[in-house]
């Protein structure tokens, strides 16, 4: 009985229970505190690693040619990290809100403008070793991009400003009566149009008050409204003479057909910028006003064929008929492009048919020599192959890989002039028919051959001063028509037998003598026509109108 009473008393006793419970609770609390310390330490290290990864991604994006070393050095300099692994990948990052985040960065896609850094390390634990022996693995990923853009174009130097031929061509292509003076063309050739200011003026013409420049490029605007926007842009920059000439052109145009602005301009990432932010965007790109007029004429001509009767305006010629066929530029290109590495511009394939009549003398008195000249010019290309931003603006450079178009010229009759997708078929032409008593045929062919692309490097000074550079196919010093005359092969078919060939030789000599004086005039027609279309024989002129270098920023 005493035993039972003693044991029950012991069970009912509360002496020491609080101490036991307190000891257990304190142990648990200390354990949780220890775990909290370790969790906090791991979280802190994870944040430090992420910060270092962000800096490493910026360093890699700023130096994509040596991205891994740049990233590794950054981890060493920012926390002295000993990494378990480091993966650095370069590629292209497209800041497109319409794309999911995980699809905006593509490894190895050009143009290379971004880097992704993936790093793992270990965060030490101090109190949690009772649960596990190893430190905690932590990881961080960051993507940074440094977009660099350049605005460039390929075209002629516009050295020929004879008003008559250019007026005739622009009249046909713009659908208006163009009658500018040589001094008007000179004022256009001497003026530059700020590209993004021009986009703001286009937005005004299109009645678009808010949105992005991409919406402006999709607007239905006629050539007249586009010229009006050019005039307003020129006037804001105090290019008064050029603005007046552009206003005259705008008033003369009656066409209501919208122009596809994307064939005229490709402004790259700037298309996503908000209207009215041209000054903040940071792309100082100015384009020659006369080049823009010529480019507008090219994209405005819906039929892509121009027939101009130059009459007998050239001494020695009794009639001159000029036909142009302008092919569609390859898809995905425009006359001027703003883009990153890999962007390109191409001229349109062009065909010229020049039919002239030369008055005969001597044995050919009263008989016209009909000379058909056919020229086929493949497109020239300029491709942005490198942008170097450098440490300072003075270190900036842009490289354009440039390839002139192939030029083929014939004296002869072409049977498929309107089909630029087919190789031309050219047959010997009948130049003279002297009352069926004597028929003279002629043919000639000159090729200005192709070449590998030539790198044209533009310094910061070149870009600031809008200097053009030229890629040359070969040493081509002779004029095209003169070269054709040198290759001219004549054949004579006589109704009356010419046993010794004396008359035939005299006729051939006479034909050459009659054609020789008009050759310089024909060269001038061809030269002026091609330069109006932005084409040089065997050459390609490239201008870098501006460039934009951003600091690398973390985007993911």
> What does the alpha-carbon distance between residue 458 and residue 543 come to, in Å, rounded to a whole number?
9
At residue 279, the pLDDT reads 75
Which distant-in-sequence residues (6+ apart) come within 8 Å of 311 by Cβ? 319, 320
DSSP run (H or E) holding 373: strand 368-377
30, 168, 336 from 165: Cα distances, Å = 95, 5, 24
**CB contact set of 289 (below 8 Å; sequence gap of 6+):** 188, 189, 191, 192, 193, 230, 234, 239, 242, 246
CB-hemisphere CA count at 13 Å for 501?
A: 5
DSSP state of 349: P
- The answer to whether the CB of 537 falls within 8 A of the CB of 476 is yes
- Residues 48 and 58: their CA atoms lie apart, in Å, by 16
Map out the domains of the chain as residue ranges. 18-145, 149-549
DSSP 59: H
Are 470 and 540 in contact by the 8 Å Cβ rule? The answer is yes
| Start-end of H helices in 142-288 | 163-174, 182-189, 195-205, 213-217, 223-236, 240-252, 261-264, 278-281
Q: Could you give the C-alpha distances from 101 to 36, 88, 94, in angstroms and in order?
A: 33, 19, 10
The pTM of the full predicted model, rounded to 2 decimals, is 0.68
Question: What is residue 478's predicted lDDT score, i.e. its pLDDT?
Answer: 60
Q: What are phi and psi of 319, to 5 degrees?
A: -160, 145
Q: Could you read off the pLDDT tens digit of each residue along the chain, which spans 556 residues? A: 555 555 455 455 555 666 666 666 666 666 666 666 667 777 888 888 888 889 999 889 888 888 999 999 998 888 788 888 999 999 888 877 777 888 889 998 877 888 999 999 888 876 666 666 677 888 989 999 887 888 888 876 544 555 566 777 777 777 677 777 778 878 888 888 888 899 999 999 999 888 888 898 888 888 889 999 999 999 999 999 999 999 988 888 877 888 888 888 888 878 888 888 877 777 778 888 888 887 887 777 655 677 878 776 677 788 888 888 877 654 456 778 888 888 888 887 888 898 888 887 777 777 888 989 998 888 888 899 888 776 677 878 899 998 888 888 999 998 888 877 778 889 999 988 887 788 889 999 988 766 678 899 999 999 888 888 888 876 555 678 888 888 889 888 887 776 567 888 888 888 888 888 888 888 888 887 777 777 777 788 888 988 887 778 888 7
CA 423 to chain CA centroid, Å, is 27
Question: Strand, coil or helix: what is 61?
Answer: helix
Q: Which residues of 149-166 are buried (b: 16+ CB within 10 A; e: fewer)?
A: bbbbbbbbbbebbebebb
């Amino acid at each position: 009985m005493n035993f039972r009473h003693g044991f029950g008393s012991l069970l009912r006793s509360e002496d020491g229970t609080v101490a036991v419970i307190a000891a257990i609770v304190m142990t648990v609390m200390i354990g949780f505190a220890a775990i909290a310390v370790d969790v906090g330490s791991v979280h802190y290290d994870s944040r430090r690693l992420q910060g270092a990864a962000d800096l490493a991604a910026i360093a890699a994006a700023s130096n994509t040619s040596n991205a891994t070393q740049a990233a590794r050095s950054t981890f060493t300099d920012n926390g002295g990290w000993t990494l378990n692994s480091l993966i650095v990948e370069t590629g292209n990052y497209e800041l497109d809100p319409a794309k999911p985040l995980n699809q905006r960065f593509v490894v190895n896609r050009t143009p290379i403008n971004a880097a992704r850094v993936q790093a793992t390390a270990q965060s030490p634990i101090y109190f949690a070793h009772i649960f596990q022996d190893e430190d905690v693995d932590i990881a961080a990923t960051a993507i940074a991009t440094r977009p660099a853009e350049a605005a460039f174009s390929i075209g002629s130097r516009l050295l020929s400003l004879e008003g008559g031929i250019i007026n005739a061509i622009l009249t046909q292509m713009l659908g208006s009566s163009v009658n500018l003076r040589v001094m008007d063309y000179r004022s256009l050739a001497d003026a530059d149009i700020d590209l993004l200011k021009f986009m703001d003026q286009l937005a005004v013409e299109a009645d678009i008050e808010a949105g992005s420049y991409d919406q402006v490029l999709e607007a239905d605007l006629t050539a007249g409204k586009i010229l009006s926007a050019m005039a307003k842009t020129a006037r804001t920059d105090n290019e008064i003479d050029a603005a007046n000439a552009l206003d005259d052109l705008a008033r003369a145009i009656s066409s209501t057909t919208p122009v596809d602005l994307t064939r005229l301009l490709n402004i790259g990432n700037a298309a996503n910028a908000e209207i009215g932010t041209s000054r903040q965007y940071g792309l100082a790109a100015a384009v020659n006003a006369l080049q823009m007029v010529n480019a507008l004429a090219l994209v405005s001509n819906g039929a892509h064929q121009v027939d101009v009767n130059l009459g007998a305006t050239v001494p020695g010629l009794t009639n001159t008929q000029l036909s142009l066929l302008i092919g569609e530029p390859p898809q995905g290109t425009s006359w001027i492009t703003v883009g990153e590495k890999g962007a390109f511009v191409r001229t349109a394939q062009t065909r010229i048919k020049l039919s002239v009549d030369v008055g005969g003398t001597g044995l050919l008195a009263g008989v016209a020599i009909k000379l058909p000249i056919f020229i086929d010019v493949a497109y020239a290309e300029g491709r942005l192959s490198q942008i170097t931003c450098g440490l300072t603006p003075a270190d900036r450079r842009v490289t354009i890989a440039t390839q002139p178009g192939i030029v083929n010229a014939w004296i002869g009759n072409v049977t498929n002039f309107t089909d630029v997708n087919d190789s031309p078929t050219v047959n010997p032409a009948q130049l003279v028919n002297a009352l069926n008593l004597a028929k003279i045929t002629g043919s000639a062919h000159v090729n200005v051959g192709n070449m590998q692309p030539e790198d044209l490097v533009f310094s910061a000074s070149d870009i600031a001063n809008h200097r053009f550079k030229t890629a040359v196919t070969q040493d081509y010093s002779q004029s095209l028509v003169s070269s054709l005359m040198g290759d001219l092969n004549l054949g004579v078919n006589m109704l009356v037998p010419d046993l010794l060939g004396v008359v035939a030789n005299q006729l051939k000599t006479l034909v050459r003598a009659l054609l020789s004086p008009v050759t310089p005039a024909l060269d001038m027609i061809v030269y002026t026509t091609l330069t109006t279309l932005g084409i040089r024989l065997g050459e390609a002129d490239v201008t870098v109108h501006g460039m934009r270098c951003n600091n690398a920023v973390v985007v993911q």
